[in-house]
Chains A and B, each alone.
Chain A
């Protein structure tokens, strides 16, 4: 029995997809709170370093492009799984996870540079709110990468056919949400200083 048939509902909509959209809705509230907190305290640090002194826009532009392209790879992975193309499904799943890992690499580098320049979580209000916001986002990316690698493993085990496309779609929804959160963070934190 396929996934879709096993989870048929009176609305005609898959209850797992409904539940996952509700989860994403709750994540909107989480990141809305974190972004609001960052904005409320922006410019109120009594000691440096602050945003204009430390943020590296060219580097973050590259990591933003990396994450945007990972979303493209994710939709191509879903399309490949849906049409039963195992090879390209694996290629795009691996590409998405790889781009996610590269993004995390950029974030680790950025964090280590900030610490090297004297900005830590406890240094000032900017440090506290910046590391909390971007750290939570990075944690979400890490969860997404683990999820994608799990799907990749299931594909190699022959357990990711077209009947399991919803599993990839849910992972994709999560991944794209992480992407749109970064779109907001990139604008609000990095570009509007």
Chain B
């Protein structure tokens, strides 16, 4: 199967994979760069979370092929992921990490 045929069957081409790898590398460098900038300290956490989420989404959509695959696969992955995030937020709130009790 050629690269073109591979793309026709739903998976990205080698070029797309390389572009995604380059973007992931750049985002990682930005993350580390932001970490060392003192003036970024007040917005460090939200900035890093957004950048991390972008990397997460790129890998899941393009390398794990959820962008092209059947939506059932996305649902099977996203539902537990949302539950896990909900559990994390609830635990952090329960233990006063957000500044509460």
Contacts and interface: CB of A to CB of B under 8 A. Distances in A.
A176 B59 contact: yes
A75 B15 CA distance: 12
B21 A72 contact: yes
Contacts of B95: 40
Interface residues of B, number: 47
Nearest to A41: B95
Nearest to A179: B59
A83 to B, nearest CB: 4
Interface in A112-142: none
Given A36-B91, A39-B97, A187 B48 contact: yes
Interface of B: 1-3, 5-6, 11-12, 14, 17-18, 20-21, 24-25, 28, 31-32, 35, 44-45, 48-49, 51-52, 55-56, 59-60, 63-64, 70, 72-73, 76-77, 79-81, 83-85, 87-88, 91-92, 95, 97
Given A29-B83, A31-B84, A180-B55, 12 more contacts: A17-B73, A25-B80, A32-B85, A32-B88, A68-B28, A69-B21, A72-B63, A82-B1, A187-B49, A187-B51, A191-B32, A191-B48
